[in-house]
Amino acid sequence: MSQNPYKKTVFQNGVRYIYIPQPEGLATTVLVLVSTGSEYETKDINGISHFLEHLCFKGTKNRPTSNMIAEELDNLGAEYNAFTGSEVTGYYAKAANKNFDKILDVVSDLYLNPIVEQKEMDKERGVIIEEINMYEDLPMEKVRENFGALLYGDQPAGWSIAGRKDVIQKLDRDDVLAYRNKHYVAAKTTVVVAGGISDPEELIRQKFSVIGDGEKILKPETEEKQSSPALSFQSKQTDQAHLVLGVRAFDLFDPRRYALSVMSDILGGGMSSRLFKKVREEMGAAYYIRSSADLGSDCGALIISTGIDKERMTEIVSAILSEMRKLTSELVPEAELSRSKEHISGRMILQLETSDELAGYYGSEEAMTGTVRTPGEILENIRKVTAADIMAVAKDIMRDDRLNLAAIGPFKDGAEEEIKNILKLGL
């Protein structure tokens, strides 16, 4: 795969800067990442990372109102947003190359100078709570949250990124500022620029020279404990049953992650994947079914998500488990292995066509690992994966003491016990 050259610089104050040129690109993205998220929280402030992300858009020292921020970016025709994850929070804007200096000024202002007014915070509580309510009403999203809680329990990795309503109601300005001062420091900040402009390193250095110093605080280590298959059922009146079935895996530093990626693609990576053909095409029992490798800095899981005919749950779970077992006992045929590698390669190439996707890829690599694996390096490792590698990983992670299932739906009496009786890989 052809790849964009990139340059990484660590400024004297500890801020990391990555530049990825796109010589023919018409747009440029600036992305600022901070290495913090819900896994850095304590229970009494769960949701504060996400709350702070919202508050940064409510006003800054240079742009005191949210309208000033939005109007300035809208007038540039920019795309802009922010996001909070379990380990990383990000702020970005993308615009025509000629407007780069302007979007950089806004995004850096959001990150460096939020005023966090109490009155705006009180109003934004309602917005956050409605966002939580929205996800409660989206079972295909809520079930993933339930799966995380099942997997990790009452520790940061098992908590909601958006937080709990009772906590959101109680957080005050002092809580938010204390959290920001603790985590929004130079050593935890990564600035990424990708697109069709020449390297703006000196401008970035100047903008971020004012950021506060501080210790790079690490998140608590995730504890994993399981001895038998685990199950979480949530009753809800829906037309489908939504479920996430998965197994504990390993972290993103593990060299087996490439074999896991290929295995995940073979299971549920597209319309020619085993689970799509089995559950949707052959059984006619689902609209969507997909597999993904969800790896963090100290834990991870292979996750299969689907929305299914609520009357056929036992049959479908049995079919999924059967496909999982097959990977532990039968080598993947060479033609299927090759096809999966090409599928992964093609998707990565398409995903990295735009400046915002490039910035997100390189930035998350740096923020999560402290280094950058280029797309070419990843695909080279994917190409090296063998059928034996996949079987070895399958045998290691597809075990009853790693198996978990979370489900949401209008379950009949006895449904949970019925699933409990079949939820085993026998390995």
Tell me the domains of the chain and their CATH numbers. Answer: 7-210 (3.30.830.10), 230-422 (3.30.830.10)
Tokens 């399958």 map to which residue? 394
The H-assigned helical ranges of 254-410 are 257-268, 274-275, 313-329, 334-351, 355-369, 375-383, 387-397
| Residues 312-341, mean pLDDT to the nearest whole number | 97
Which pLDDT does position 2 carry in this prediction? 46
**SS3 of 121, please?**
helix
Q: What is the per-residue pLDDT across 181-205, written as a single tens digit (0 to 9) for each? A: 999 999 999 999 999 999 999 999 9
Listed in sequence order, the residues at least 6 apart from 363 whose beta carbon sits closer than 8 Å to its beta carbon are: 18, 31, 33, 90, 190, 192
Contacts of 380 (CB under 8 A, 6+ apart): none
Task: Sort strands 403-409 and 230-235 into parallel, antiparallel or unpaired.
Answer: parallel
Average pLDDT (97-120) is 97
Pairing of strands 27-34, 16-21: unpaired
Q: 394-424, pLDDT tens digit by residue?
A: 999 999 999 999 999 998 888 899 999 999 9
Closest CA to 241 of 407, 29, 7, 54: 407
- Sole residue written with tokens 């993947």: 332
Task: Kindly report, residue by residue over 197-250, the tens digit of the pLDDT.
Answer: 999 999 999 999 999 888 999 999 999 999 999 999 999 999 999 999 999 999
Q: Is the pLDDT of residue 311 over 50?
A: yes
Q: Are 349 and 4 in contact (CB under 8 A)?
A: no
**What pLDDT sits at residue 414?**
86
pTM value is: 0.95
pLDDT confidence of residue 4: 59
So what's the pLDDT on residue 3?
Answer: 54
pLDDT at 353 over 80: yes
Q: How far is C-alpha 231 from the chain's CA centre? A: 23
Amino acid identity, residue 152? Answer: Y
**Cα separation of 47 and 311, whole Å?**
36
Q: Is 265 exposed, middle or buried (0-12, 13-18, 19+ CB in 10 A)?
A: buried
Burial class from Cβ neighbours inside 10 Å (0-12, 13-18, 19+) for residue 80 reads buried
Any idea what the Cα angle at residue 180 is, between residues 175 and 182, rounded to 5°?
100
What number is the average pLDDT over the span 55-74? 97
Q: Mean pLDDT over residues 112-137, rounded?
A: 96
